[in-house]
Structure 1
Amino acid sequence: MKLLTKLFLIVLLFQSFQCDEDIATSITVEMLNEKKNEIKEYIASFPCDESIGCNSIAFGSKPCGGPWEYLVFSNAVDLTFLENEVELYNEMEHQFNINTGATSDCAVVLPPTEIGCVDGVCAALD
């Protein structure tokens, strides 16, 4: 699965340097949902406790700009991997928005101000 993700990232990067829109226009809702589920499952695979701590990351790409939400995760994750996966998802959704002419509210979504470990799961407490 990691190989598939890396391969997709490489294809997406090559696409950004080309004028050919075939790859960019082929992003589907199903592809976005699959990637979103992969990221959320990855985050869920890391339990937390107070000694490890939790953090958040901006997730998604609203057509007006900014994220749709913030994902809360355990500091036990491989942060570089998670950041790369989220960046890939955000770019995919941004391209999808452009291709489909998507619209959204322009409300600013703020990061959680308080995050903690609740029953072994990181959560926003505010």
Structure 2
Amino acid sequence: MKWFFKIVVLAIVLQSFQCTDSNESDDLITVAQLETKKQEIQNYINGFSCSESVGCGFIAFGSKPCGGPKSYLLFSNKIDQSKLQKMVKEYNEMDELYNIQTNAISDCMYVSPPTEVKCVNGVCTITK
């Protein structure tokens, strides 16, 4: 009876160490995917110039492993902000998943948002 119990426990333990399903690797986020998405967002933002009358805005971008954004993107207020927010949300979720998948670490320093963004020569610029 003791042997039977040991075999059952051993079988349960061995099952917990099974290899991962090959489909899980399809869900892994790559640096190339992040770079492609980042470039797509940057190209979209660069398609809009600013003016003093329209102004500029900013949005938190990226996901630090300890939480919070990696940086802030500046954009002209001419842009479709709901489209930009959707694109950035997708990127941030991908970046967060990448951090989890790679056990990423960071400095955990807080990245402050810009206090003032203005249009300078048709380009959104942090002035303070």
Q: TM-score range by the shorter chain?
A: 0.7 to 0.9
Q: What displacement does 1:125 show?
A: 1.1
Q: What displacement does 1:21 show?
A: 3.5
Alignment equivalent of 1:50, drawn from 49, 52, 55: 52
Q: What displacement does 1:29 show?
A: 0.1
Alignment equivalent of 1:88, drawn from 77, 87, 90: 90
**Runs of 4+ residues over 4 Å off in structure 1:** none
Offset from partner CA, 1:19-56 (integer Å, 9 cap, x none): x734432x100000010011011111100001111000
Unaligned runs of 5+ in 2: 1-22
Task: Please give the TM-score of this superposition, normalised by the length of structure 1.
Answer: 0.81
User: Partner residue of 1:7?
Assistant: none
Percent identity, aligned pairs only? 54
Unaligned runs of 5+ in 1: 1-19
Task: Please give the TM-score of this superposition, normalised by the length of structure 2.
Answer: 0.80
Q: What displacement does 1:123 show?
A: 1.2
SS for the counterpart of 2:34 is helix
SS for the counterpart of 2:83 is helix
Distance 1:53 1:23 in 2: 42
Max Rg structure = 2
1:24 aligns with 2:18: no
Contact 1:60–1:67, Cα closer than 8 Å, also in 2: yes
